[in-house]
Structure 1
Amino acid sequence: MYQPPEASCWTGRVDSVSDERAFRLHQRIRLLDLSGPLTPLEQAAAFIGFVCDEGVRRNQGRQGAKEAPAAVKAALARLPWHLPSGASIYDAGDIVCADGRLEQSQAELGKAIARLLQSGVAPVVIGGGHETAYGHYLGVRAALGPNARLGIINIDAHFDLRPYDNGPTSGTMFRQILDEDKQVGYCCLGIQRLGNTAALFADAERYGCEYILEEQLTAGAIEAAYERIEQFASRHDSIILTICMDAISAAAAPGVSAPSPFGLSPSLARALIRRIVSHPKTISVDLCEVNPLVDEGGKTVALAAAFCMEALLHFRRLQPRR
Structure 2
Amino acid sequence: MESFDFYTKNRITHYIKHRKGETKLGEALEFIPSFEDLESSEARYVIFGIPEDIGVRGNFGQPGTSKAWSAFLNSFCNIQVNEYNDPKNCMILGEINCSSFTKASLATYTKFELGEIVQQIDAQVTMVVEKIVRSGKTPVIIGGGHNNAYGNIKGTSQALERPIHVLNIDAHTDLRETDYRHSGNGFKYAKEEKLLDRYAMVGIHKNYTPQYIFDEMNKDKHIKYTFLDDYLHLTTIEKLIKFKKATDFVRNNFGLEIDCDSIKNFDSSAMTPSGFNVNEIRSFIKLSKKQEVLYLHLCEASPEKNAMIGKALSYFVSDFIREEK
- Coarse TM-score class (shorter-chain normalised): 0.7 to 0.9
Does the 8 Å CA contact 1:151/1:232 hold for their aligned counterparts? no
Query: Per-residue deviation at 1:86?
Result: 8.1
SS of equivalent residue, structure 2 residue 16: coil
Please give the residue correspondences for 1:147-296 in structure 2 after superposition, counting only pairs within 5 Å. Answer: 149-165=163-179, 167-181=180-194, 184-208=197-221, 209-217=223-231, 218=234, 219-234=236-251, 238-250=253-265, 253=266, 255-279=267-291, 281-293=292-304, 295-296=305-306
The one-letter code sitting in structure 2 at the alignment partner of 1:2 is F
For the Cα contact (< 8 Å) 2:153–2:196, is it kept in 1?
A: no
Deviations 1:206-249 (A, max 9, x none): 33421121122242522432431342243x6x311011001000
For residues 175 and 60 of structure 1, the distance between their equivalents in structure 2, rounded to whole angstroms, comes to: 18
CA distance in 1 between partners of 2:298 and 2:166 (Å): 13
CA 30–57 in structure 1, closer or farther in 2 if over 3 Å, else same: same
Alignment of 1:119-138 (within 5 A): 119-138=135-154
Helix, strand or coil at the partner of 2:202: strand
1:87, distance to aligned residue in structure 2 (A): 3.8
Change (3 A) 1:194 1:27: same
SS of equivalent to 2:50? strand
Structure 2 CA distance for partners of 1:262 and 1:110, relative to 1, 3 Å: same
Q: Contact 2:39/2:136 (CA < 8 Å) preserved in 1?
A: no
Whether contact under 8 Å (2:298, 2:313) holds in the other structure is: yes
Q: What SS does the corresponding residue of 1:292 show, helix, strand or coil? A: coil
Kindly report structure 1 stretches of 4+ aligned residues shifted beyond 4 Å: 82-86
Identity %: 22
Aligned partner (choices 118, 122, 132) of residue 102 of structure 1: 118
- TM-score calculated relative to the size of structure 2: 0.85
Structure 2 match to 1:9: 12
Amino acid at match of 2:128: A
Structure 1 distance, partners of 2:134, 2:94, is: 17
Check conservation: 2:171, 2:262, Cα contact below 8 A: yes
Partner of 1:69: 69
SS at match of 1:287: strand
Deviation at residue 42 of structure 1 after TM alignment = 4.3
Q: Which residue of 2 aligns with 1:144?
A: 160
Contact 1:4–1:35, Cα closer than 8 Å, also in 2: no
Pair 1:16–1:233, CA change in 2 (3 A): farther
Q: Of 294, 311, 323, which aligns to 1:302?
A: 311
Q: Aligned pair in 2 of structure 1 residues 224, 41: CA closer, same or farther (>3 Å)?
A: same
Displacement after TM superposition at 1:35 (Å): 5.4
The answer to whether structure 1 residue 58 and structure 2 residue 58 are counterparts is: yes
C-alpha displacement at 1:41, in angstroms? 3.7
Question: TM-score with structure 1 length normalisation?
Answer: 0.86
The residue that corresponds to 2:30 in the other structure is 30
Separation in structure 2 between the aligned mates of residue 224 and residue 278 of structure 1, nearest angstrom: 13
User: How many pairs were matched up?
Assistant: 301
How far residue 137 of structure 1 moved from its aligned partner, in angstroms, is 0.9
1:164-209 deviations in Å (ceiling 9; x for gaps)? 21x1110001111111116611001111112222332223223342
RMSD: 2.2
Q: Which residue number corresponds to residue 79 of structure 2?
A: 79
Q: Which stretches in structure 2 are left out of the alignment for 5+ residues?
A: 106-116
Contact preservation (8 Å) 1:75, 1:301 = yes
The residue identity in structure 2 corresponding to 1:240 is G
Whether the 8 Å CA contact 2:154–2:195 is kept in 1: the answer is no
Preserved contact between residue 24 and residue 79 of structure 2 (Cα < 8 Å) = yes
